[in-house]
A and B are shown apart, each in its own frame.
Chain A
Amino acid sequence: MADLWEYRWLLLQGTGMTLLLGITGLVLSLLIGLAGSAARIGGGPIARRIAGGYTTFVRSVPDLCMMLLLFFGGQTLMNKLGAWTGWWEYVEVNAFAAGVITIAFIFGAYMTESFRGAYTSIPKGQFEAAQSLGLTRSQMFRHVTFPQLMGYALPSIGVNWMVLLKTTALVSVLGLHDLVFFGVSAGRSTRNPFAFLIAIMVIYLILTALSDLVLRALERRYTKGRMLRT
């Protein structure tokens, strides 16, 4: 326990990084998911094909493999592309960017499925009602589609978030100083990896429990309308 106490700030700092990574990844993957589901529902045949291929690719390649490929290969590719097109001189794909982009890329595919499923759950009458009220497309999206979409998609977004949070652990392999990285290196230095690894597990469980609370509150909020109606 004394070892853990000595390294408490490092663990806390790592937890902060894990959360930052997770939340940034979540926001980006939600954006990708919205775009992807729009492509799959309302896009032309080519957009649909691309969105479908994207999901298949993500389902086919392990996260760690994709992360390493992006971290090491992505940078070289970006720089070659920049030199070839002359658009940029140098783009840094650091461990954080590689981690976030990979996580967003992977979970964007899962979020696409979440939103697509949720969209089909919205009763058709809602859109017809919105049209008959004369709402524009963007008004309809903001006031009718989006709030209900979130309501129906929330449970599955919640599941994705829990998986996403755990996936951030892999970024430690790229050398990003997240919870797992600090925990493992502190365990090595103190020759007491067991205590630190268990501490990491406990911190993850706390984060999971907290997420659960937040999700439940959100779900209550977004499904309020539905509960009143019935």
Chain B
Amino acid sequence: MLNRRSLFASAAALMVALGAQAQAEGVLRVAISTGYPPFDVLNADGSYGGFDVEFANLICERMNKTCEFTDIEWDGIIPGLLANKYDVIIASMGINEERMKQVDFSEPYYKGPSALIAKKDAGFTADEAGTEGKAIGVQRATAHECYIGKHMAKADMRQYATSEEAYLDLQAGRIDAVLVDTIPGEEWLKSDPANAEAFAPISADLYDMECFGVGQGIALRKGEDELKAELNAAILKTREDGSYLELSNRYFGRDIYDF
């Protein structure tokens, strides 16, 4: 049948047209994951904003490239990098051991511990005994999963696509606490007086080298040492020319490069 063959051919052509995308020169393909204020934000007009996005633009500028952003679900962000959907991840990714098995990292571009945020009168402690049976929300595929598995193994861990959904459930009272990075956690508390009134970190800053690692870095595929060197040099430049400090002050009123 003549038509069958032409049908297959046109279907195949369409599939290729859908999938194929040229990789332009002078472009750094950057993955972010929105729903993580104030680092990765989707604005009302559909544009991207937040510390990570602005920082990425600083890095691209210093590499004489333009950033091309891809907004991707957090739990697919490393598989996407490995599948060459983009070149780097600039999305507040903690440099930890489990991830190092899959990807490489630049030097950290900011550092922050984690915190367990709960109702002020929650009355439990952020350790294994205190969190037994408590529902704790985390973002899926984060270092916080690792921390709960290690230090709060008896808690009822709930995994969310974004931390914003975990906050919604914390406000609704569906979960007892959220385990988040301290900086965005504090920003969330500040973002609404009602939050600051009802909720607070119920622990000291939590550290764990194995889970949280040495800070947040730019992730890239293994073996791309040239790109890694370029990225590290660009990070250094943003430190030297003061653009990093300006950005950090604008967002947080302080320098988050180091503790």
Contacts and interface: CB of A to CB of B under 8 A. Distances in A.
Direct contact of A and B (CB under 8 A): yes
Interface of A: 6-7, 9-10, 13, 24, 28, 31-32, 34-35, 38, 42, 71-72, 75-76, 79, 90-97, 100-101, 137-138, 141, 173-175, 177, 182, 185-186, 188-189, 191, 193
Contact of B45 (A9, A71, A79, A101): A9
A72 B168 contact: no
A181 to B, nearest CB: 9
Given A137-B2, A188-B165, A191-B192, 10 more contacts: A10-B44, A31-B11, A34-B7, A38-B1, A75-B84, A79-B84, A94-B19, A100-B18, A141-B3, A174-B73
A72 to B, nearest CB: 5
Interface centre among B8, B14, B162, B168 (most CB of A within 10 A): B14
A10 B85 contact: no
Nearest to A185: B42
A151 to B, nearest CB: 18
Given A10-B46, A38-B4, A72-B79, A92 B73 contact: no
Nearest to A142: B3
Contact of A31 (B7, B73, B84, B162): B7
Given A174-B76, A175-B72, A193-B168, A92 B20 contact: yes
Nearest to B19: A97
Nearest to B74: A175
A92 B19 contact: yes
Given A9-B45, A137-B2, A188-B35, A94 B76 contact: no
Contacts of A193: 168
Given A71-B76, A174-B76, A175-B76, A188 B19 contact: no
B174 to A, nearest CB: 13
Contacts of B71: 175, 177
Nearest to B162: A188
Nearest to A13: B46
Given A90-B84, A175-B73, A185 B35 contact: yes
Given A13-B46, A35-B11, A191 B168 contact: yes
A6 B7 CA distance: 44
Contacts of A101: 15, 18
A191 B18 CA distance: 35
Contacts of A177: 46, 71
B34 interface: yes
B85 A94 contact: yes
B15 A35 contact: no
B20 A91 contact: yes
23 contacts: A9-B46, A10-B45, A24-B18, A31-B10, A35-B4, A71-B76, A75-B83, A75-B84, A76-B82, A79-B83, A90-B84, A92-B21, A94-B85, A97-B18, A100-B18, A101-B15, A137-B1, A174-B76, A175-B71, A177-B46, A177-B71, A191-B171, A191-B192
